[in-house]
Amino acid sequence: MGFRARIGTFFIGIVLAGACHCGADFSGESISPAVRSQVNWVLSQHDHQGRPFAIVDKQDARLYLFAGSGQLLGAAAALLGSAPGDHAVPGVGQRAPSEILPFERTTPAGRFTSEPGRNLQGEAVVWFDYEAGLAIHRLRPAAASERRPQRLQSDTPKDNRISLGCVVVAVDFYETVVDPVLGRQRGIVYVLPEKRIALLAGGALEAAGRAN
């Protein structure tokens, strides 16, 4: 599968002023300045090439899905990689889940071309970094001690770091918002970095992600 991620210029959108509406329609949703600026940049630069696109805000642990026109289709809390960091560990996608060490369980930042597909269990998912084994998928049954449903429903993003690196959303949100859009066609997924200051500092910007 041909997947790619670009880290350089897309982060410029984080620091552009949010005054330009550029066709964005946030439907009254409360959105962070970083997400708002990123959306405006995507639309003004036509970086999404007219495709639907998602923005994952790791600081707020939320996923926003937009139509190619810039209309917000939905937003929801998301579970993210349990380890902090904006890089994917090389080769992590070729290992069994039990072999992925705690510090390797990151959700990498970057611009990714997404594609609908299925995992090894035949479950429909939206791949955004196939090489690293990372996808947007619905909440699955897990050990009760992980409290995944409760984490998704909590008022704070601080307890949303529990996955191996995938972006996990509630079943109803996946089936009614994500699957009808990104589950039917290719799109673009922008994962905003959690260490934004470091990423916006010169050379660290280019070193922030792994191209694939």
pLDDT single digits (tens) 136-182: 999 987 788 778 888 888 888 888 998 989 999 999 999 999 999 99
Is residue 176 in a domain? Answer: yes
Whole-Å CA distances, 79 to 2, 100, 163, 211: 26, 17, 6, 23
Q: Contact 48/37 with Cβ under 8 angstroms?
A: no
More confident residue, 65 or 97: 65
Q: Are strands 53-57 and 187-192 parallel, antiparallel or unpaired?
A: parallel
Is residue 68 in a domain? Answer: yes
Reported confidence tier of residue 203, pLDDT bands at 50, 70, 90: very low
Is residue 52 in a domain? Answer: yes
Domain count across the chain: 1
Angstrom distance (rounded) from CA 13 to CA 70: 15
Is residue 95 in a domain? Answer: yes
Is residue 212 in a domain? Answer: no
Say whether pTM exceeds 0.75: yes
The pLDDT tens digits for 72-98 are: 999 999 999 999 988 888 878 778 877
Is residue 142 in a domain? Answer: yes
Query: Would you say residue 57 has pLDDT above 90?
Result: yes
Is residue 210 in a domain? Answer: no
Residue 26 belongs to what domain range? 5-205
Is residue 211 in a domain? Answer: no
Q: Contact 159/151 with Cβ under 8 angstroms?
A: yes
Tell me the pLDDT of the chain averaged across its residues: 81
* Residue 38: CATH number of its domain: 2.40.440.10
Q: How many Å is the maximal CA-CA distance in the chain?
A: 46
